[in-house]
Structure 1
Amino acid sequence: KAIEGLVAEGYTIVLLGTPRHPETIGLLGFAPEAIVVDEEDEWDRIPRTKRMALISQSTQPPWKFEKLAAFLVSRSHELKVINSVCPVTIRRQQDTMALAAEVDMMVIVGGRSSANTKELTRLCAMAGVPVHQIEDARDLTDAAVFGTARVVGVSGGTSTPIEDLRAVAERVYALAGVPDAQTRAAELARAALGAVAEQAYRSTSIGVAIGTRGTVRQPGEVARPAAPVPSAG
Structure 2
Amino acid sequence: MKVLVIDIGGSNIKILATDQPERIKIPSGADFKPEELVPLVKDAAKDWVYDVISIGFPGVVKHGKIFADPVNMGTGWKGFDFAKAFGKPVKIINDAAMQALGSYEGGKLLFMGFGTGLGTAMVFEDLILPLEGGHLPFKMGTFETHVGNAAMKKLGKNKWKEMVAKTIEHFTHCFQPDEIVLGGGNSKLLDEIPENCRLGSNKNAFTGGFRLWEREYKV
Please give the range of the TM-score, normalised by the shorter of the 2 chains: 0.3 to 0.5
More strand by share: 2
Select the structure with the greater relative contact order (CA < 8 A; seq sep ≥ 6). Answer: 2
TM-score (norm 2): 0.35
TM-score (norm 1): 0.34
- Looking at CA atoms only, which structure, 1 or 2, has the larger radius of gyration? 1
